[in-house]
């Protein structure tokens, strides 16, 4: 890596002592990027932008939010009514959370479709899953802060999940609560952690980017970059493409923020928390619904039926294990997928399996919003079974037995062939 | 997707041509126009997006709602003062004696570091309403209580750096540059004033 010289003497002076300009030049200006990235590659940088929006609006909200059970709900209403533009900042934060998950889910599915997690990008994927886990924790903690009915009962239900831990369950739950129920100490520590975690996510994002920039972006064809003819510099090509995508994204984000700010929310959370009354129908935020469906899908007597460790694992534990497993199994996806071919474009069987898996998660999300009874419960169980079937059984088998399509010789060869075909066609 | 790839390729070729030609392309004016107008619109948009965040740190509506204070002054005897709080600051309300009024009105403007006639500082000559913060460095002058030292001009005396104020609250001696400030206020009736 040769050290460039800069025309501007101040830039040169700084860069000679702290090569920050050189670093940025390598990372976001000259950074060689596959020339064939499509718009599905926009969502990583979009997620990064929303993270900044969330931290920015969050810091503003914390200036007026009071983490105390007697004042939290009112302080949020004060933000909505009395603080200048408080309504805007809070609605940006609330809808930003949903947008963050939309972008990250698209980002994850993109990685699955194009096999981005495969060698040598396994660790990049794993760091991403940790970011996803940290996001889920942050979102859950943040949802508790307004101290509405859903906040309170969501906190109660989720913290009670930990009661299934053998022997120490009750002690852990009391430790989480800082008492004997969800109360002021719980709210205080949730606020503290909700403020801390985004900065940990921020750090993880940099590690994610570090890993990304080590082996560079994958691409829709899933074949390795072979030379300069396969790449273009990040700036101006992908800065422009990302900026355009950001504009489109802002239309959606601000559309919700201004015209349907409570679209993703639950009306019950505008009722102040009441420890004596549980809402009739508790649902988590939409981004947790598939996992919530998995939690409820596992029958209480599951373990008894199958006779697996019935003494150590109490009945209700199975659902909790299934829910956590549904996320943690993604950590080993790079090894569950045994195919040498990355992109689903060249994997005719996996192509369909991917879309079935996608539909399966949508079904799980739908079921998660419905009461766990009757047909819903049955569909939820089938969809849960399919979720694990896909990841643990189908992925390894399909990789072994699938007959893949021939890969193009190089990115530029594929692009040139496609380009000239299109020209001749028109 | 292939279309997208084709376009990027097209852009790459155009860009390299433009670089190779070294600012001689007839497109340069168009490009400059697009570049500068994009920057201008982007900067304006950013400024508008930043404003709500800055304004959110201004006093909120509930703070502004408490920005005026109503005060009952009927219990103040002649020669007595009270200190009220308005926007977190002390407000001196003094019912002046006839002698104090006379001295204040008789003072020549040329004797004052910050010339201001007494009639311009009161709404009713008997009532002096001021913000009780020394204009030097923000201490609260003495002179409200009967036992307090009132300084060489019989009004107020700031113990921090020795500023003397007269019976109209005007600076007469010491480091303070200005007279004690008069808050916006009005008489609602004879015995009640609204400050702010």
d(CA A177, CA A199): 23
B161 part of the active site: yes
3-state secondary structure of B95: strand
- State the average pLDDT over residues A339-358: 96
Q: Give the one of A39, A84, A237 whose C-beta lies nearest to B58's C-beta.
A: A84
Show the beta-strand stretches assigned E in chain B.
69-72, 81-86, 89-95, 127-131, 154-158, 163-166, 171-173, 185-187, 192-195
How far, rounded to the nearest angstrom, does the alpha carbon of residue B93 sit from its chain's CA centroid?
Answer: 21
According to CATH, where is 1.20.810.10 located in chain A? 34-155+193-215+234-283
CA nearest neighbour of B112 among B36, B24, B172, B153: B172
d(CA B159, CA B166): 15
For position A98, what pLDDT does the model report? 97
Tell me the pLDDT tens digit for each residue of A58-106.
999 999 999 999 999 999 999 999 999 999 999 999 999 999 999 999 9
The residues facing B86 across adjacent strands are: B89
Question: Is the pLDDT at B106 greater than 70, yes or no?
Answer: yes
**Is the ipTM above a cut-off of 0.90?**
no
Q: Which residues contact B138 (CB under 8 A, 6 or more apart)?
A: none
Q: Give the one of A35, A78, A84 whose C-beta lies nearest to B9's C-beta.
A: A35
Q: What are phi and psi of B165, to 5 degrees?
A: -115, 145
Q: Do B56 and A35 touch (CB under 8 A)?
A: no
For position B9, what pLDDT does the model report? 43
Query: Higher confidence at residue A203 or residue A299?
Result: A203
Paired tokens of A60: 């503003």
Q: Do A86 and B4 touch (CB under 8 A)?
A: no
Q: Is B151 exposed, middle or buried (0-12, 13-18, 19+ CB in 10 A)?
A: buried
- State the average pLDDT over residues A242-271: 95
CA nearest neighbour of A68 among A59, A80, A57, A76: A76
Tell me the pLDDT tens digit for each residue of B167-182.
999 999 999 999 999 9
Domain A34-155+193-215+234-283's class?
mainly alpha
- State the average pLDDT over residues B48-73: 91
d(CA A278, CA A241): 48
Chain A residues with beta carbon closer than 8 angstroms to that of B53: 56, 60, 85, 89
Q: How far is B36 from chain A (nearest CA, A)?
A: 15
Is A89 near chain B, with CB under 8 Å? yes
Query: How many CB atoms lie under 10 A from the CB of residue A194?
Result: 21
Is A245 near chain B, with CB under 8 Å? no
Across chain A, how many H-helices and E-strands are there? 18, 2
Q: Do B62 and A56 touch (CB under 8 A)?
A: no
Q: Report in angstroms the alpha-carbon separations of B24 from A294, B18, B36, B119.
A: 63, 8, 19, 74
Paired tokens of A159: 């913290």
Q: Which of A52, A64, A83 to mutate to test the interface with B (most CBs of B within 10 A)?
A: A83
Q: What is the pTM of this model?
A: 0.84
Tell me the pLDDT tens digit for each residue of B126-159.
999 999 999 999 999 999 988 888 889 989 999 9
Model confidence at B163, in pLDDT bands (50, 70, 90)?
very high
Chain B residues with beta carbon closer than 8 angstroms to that of A421: 2
What percent of chain A shows pLDDT beyond 90? 83
Q: Do A419 and B2 touch (CB under 8 A)?
A: yes
3-state secondary structure of B156: strand
What mean pLDDT, rounded, does chain A reach?
Answer: 91
Is A81 near chain B, with CB under 8 Å? yes
Q: What are phi and psi of A317, to 5 degrees?
A: -65, -35
Model confidence at A215, in pLDDT bands (50, 70, 90)?
very high
- State the average pLDDT over residues A368-396: 94
Chain A residues with beta carbon closer than 8 angstroms to that of B9: 35, 415-416, 419
Query: Higher confidence at residue A152 or residue B20?
Result: A152
Tell me the pLDDT tens digit for each residue of B9-52.
444 444 444 444 455 567 888 989 998 999 999 999 999 999 99
Tell me the pLDDT tens digit for each residue of A1-52.
456 688 999 999 999 999 999 999 999 999 999 999 999 999 999 999 999 9
A373 part of the active site: no
Model confidence at A285, in pLDDT bands (50, 70, 90)?
very high
Q: Do A36 and B5 touch (CB under 8 A)?
A: yes
């Amino acid at each position: 890596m040769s050290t460039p010289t800069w025309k501007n003497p101040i830039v040169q002076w700084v860069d000679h002592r702290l090569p920050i300009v050189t670093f940025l030049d390598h990372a976001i200006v000259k950074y060689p990027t596959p020339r064939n990235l499509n718009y599905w590659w926009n969502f990583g940088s979009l997620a990064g932008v929303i993270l900044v929006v969330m931290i920015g609006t969050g810091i503003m909200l914390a200036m007026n939010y009071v983490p105390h059970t007697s004042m939290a709900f009112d302080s949020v209403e004060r933000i909505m009514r009395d603080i200048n533009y408080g309504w805007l900042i809070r609605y940006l934060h609330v809808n930003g959370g949903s947008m963050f998950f939309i972008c990250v889910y698209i980002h994850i599915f993109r990685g699955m479709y194009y096999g981005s997690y495969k060698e040598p990008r396994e660790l990049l994927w794993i760091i991403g899953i940790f970011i996803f886990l940290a996001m889920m924790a942050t979102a859950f903690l943040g949802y508790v802060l307004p101290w509405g009915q859903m906040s309170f009962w969501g906190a109660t239900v989720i913290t009670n999940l930990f009661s299934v831990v053998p022997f120490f369950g009750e002690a852990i739950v009391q430790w989480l609560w800082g008492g004997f129920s969800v109360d002021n100490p719980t709210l205080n520590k949730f606020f503290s952690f909700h403020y801390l975690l985004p900065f940990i996510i921020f750090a993880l994002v940099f590690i994610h980017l570090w890993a990304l920039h080590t082996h560079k972006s994958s691409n829709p064809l899933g074949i390795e970059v072979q030379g300069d003819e396969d790449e273009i510099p990040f700036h101006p090509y992908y800065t422009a493409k990302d900026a355009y995508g950001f504009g489109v994204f802002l239309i959606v984000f601000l559309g919700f923020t201004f015209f349907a700010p409570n679209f993703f929310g639950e009306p019950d959370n505008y009722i102040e928390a009441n420890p004596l009354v549980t809402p009739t129908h508790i649902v988590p935020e939409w981004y947790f619904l598939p996992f919530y469906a998995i939690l409820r899908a596992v029958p209480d007597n599951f373990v008894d039926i199958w006779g697996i460790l019935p003494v150590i694992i109490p009945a209700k534990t199975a659902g909790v294990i299934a829910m956590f497993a549904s996320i943690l199994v993604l950590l080993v996806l790079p090894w569950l997928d045994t195919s040498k071919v990355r992109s689903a474009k060249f994997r005719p069987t996996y192509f369909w399996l991917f879309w079935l898996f996608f539909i399966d998660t949508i079904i799980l999300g739908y079921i998660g919003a419905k009461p766990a009874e009757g047909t819903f419960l049955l569909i939820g169980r089938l969809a849960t079974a399919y979720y694990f079937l896909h990841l643990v059984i189908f992925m390894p088998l399909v990789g072994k037995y699938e007959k893949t399509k021939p890969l193009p010789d190089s990115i530029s060869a594929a692009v040139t062939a496609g380009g000239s075909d299109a020209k001749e066609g028109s | 997707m292939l279309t997208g790839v084709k376009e990027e390729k097209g852009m790459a070729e155009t860009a390299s041509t433009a670089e190779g030609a070294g600012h001689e392309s007839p497109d340069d004016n168009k490009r400059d126009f697009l570049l500068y107008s994009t920057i201008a619109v982007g900067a304006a948009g950013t400024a508008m997006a930043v404003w709500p965040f800055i304004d959110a740190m201004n006093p909120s509506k509930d703070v502004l709602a408490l920005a005026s204070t109503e005060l009952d002054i009927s219990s103040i005897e002649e020669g007595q003062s009270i200190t009220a709080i308005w926007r977190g600051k002390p407000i001196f309300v003094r019912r002046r004696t006839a002698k104090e009024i006379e001295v204040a009105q008789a003072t020549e403007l040329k004797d004052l570091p910050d010339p201001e006639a007494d009639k311009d500082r009161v709404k009713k000559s008997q009532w002096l309403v001021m913000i009780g913060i020394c204009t030097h460095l923000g201490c609260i002058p003495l002179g409200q209580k009967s036992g307090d030292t009132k300084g060489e001009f019989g009004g107020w005396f700031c113990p921090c750096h020795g500023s003397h104020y007269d019976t109209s609250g005007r600076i007469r001696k010491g480091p303070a540059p200005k007279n004690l400030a008069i808050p916006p206020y009005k008489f609602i009736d004879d015995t009640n004033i609204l400050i702010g």
